[in-house]
Chain A
Amino acid sequence: MRKGFFITFEGGEGAGKSIQVQILASRLREDNFKVIVTREPGGTRIGEQIRTITHSQENVDLDAKTEAYLMAAARAQHVSEVIAPALDAGRIVISDRFVDSSIAYQGYGRKLGAKFIAKLNEVAVNGAVPDITFLLDVPLEMGMKRRHASEKTNDRLDMQQQDFYDRVYKGYETLAKTNGGRYFIIDAKKSIEKVATEVWKIVGKKIKKHFTNE
């Protein structure tokens, strides 16, 4: 059994994951917990370099499956270099996205199949299953607006993109249903403060239980 505690944030674009990660981490640090904040894709130098491959202009025709293998490579490195050592050392790890993002985006969104992606990532995850996963639920339109608020662009999604994001959304819904034990859906239409309060209510209770039972 790992001594640490693993929290992940999932959800679509503009759901406010990164700000919630920050708020939760500083709240935990106030209580003297040792916290590691990380994110996907990326999280390690190898992961960042793989990300430049998958995002490079030269690779616009990158096959969905090739991309899935590359993401799994980045994740394997992320787990072995960052997440597993921190959990073994009894830390709290908070990750902005984790394997469920691959399942939602590549499994459902790019139609590779949830099962295929989950199976492919099993070895990469290496038992690092989150204790809590927050799904920050925000309607697609609102998330996109938030995302592009600063850019003032008027880019509307075309039908194909709309379909893609709909599939991702439904994928997350399914993940939340089938992993009920660790999943908490938070209504992310609410203000940042309100979302943070809800997150803390759940984390505070679980953390206390986890660290006093040992």
Chain B
Amino acid sequence: MRNFEYTRAANTEQAIAFHAQSPSSFLAGGTTLLDLMKIDIMRPQRVVDVNKLPLNRIEVLDDGRVRIGAMVSNTALARDPHIVRHYPVLSQALLSGASTQLRNKATTAGNVMQRVRCGYFRDGVSPCNKRDPGSGCSAIEGFNRSVHAVLGTSEQCIASHPSDMCVAMAAIGATVHVQGTKGARDIDFLDFHLLPGNTPWKEHALQDDELITHIVLDAPIAGSKSAYLKLRDRASYQFALASCAAILAIDGGRIRDARLALGGVGTKPWRAKQAEAALIGQAPGEAAFRQAAALALQGAHPYKYNAYKIPLGQQAIVRNLHTLIA
């Protein structure tokens, strides 16, 4: 690993002030940043350690929303009794990601900021527009079976977003609270991650001077059930080929409210609003679920080795919705 200037921030203001002095990276759990620094993909001259920041609390707000500190570990969030009870989809998504040790290190904000697992991004030599803007995308014509998307891709990048947690948050609805030199602002979770388009190196809506301080979950939908289903090459410790976060509220044999988001198949955590709308008012069951699944993957663009993700993504939706009415 190249060396760098290291600073430990005691509070948010200090972290932002250090960061503003010259370009640097915030270091939280380190499971992405240090990994990518070791293989020389990320090369910060300065690192601001935010591990001592007092942002490690989970608070239930008066209006039913839940405010999660940026530094809350993935393990702590997954095991929090309020999350387990009111947002099972989030707890399940977190526990399906990475390994016990990595979840102990990884943080809520760090999970949101994690980078893609595309082998061409990580190899340091292949053309990759994320790593070396303008050099091209090796994955489009290359080996694109497992960590490449069919939704939200562009001619410049097809890497899928690797997070499970973010898929659950996209379904629940959330707000990302950020703080910068000019003050604090809120970003809708669905607007936080950016589609690759013609600028795949721009992955999120943060300005250079901004730090994520909290993520606030929308209040749970009254009377709803939720679940996360992750399909992958092995039973544990593997990124999703396709995954589904689903929330369903049923009244009098009809679907009152529905939320669907997909992982593994999109270039960002993929909320399927059109499919949700099609479920409202329907009788829950195979027919309605199939229709929603077809809508969710409508317009998907298959590549040489990942066309299977279109039926697999649909199947993840159907199977997961069935678990909610079982």
Partners in one complex: no
Where the two chains meet, the residues of B that have a C-beta atom closer than 8 Å to any C-beta of A are none
Where the two chains meet, the residues of A that have a C-beta atom closer than 8 Å to any C-beta of B are none
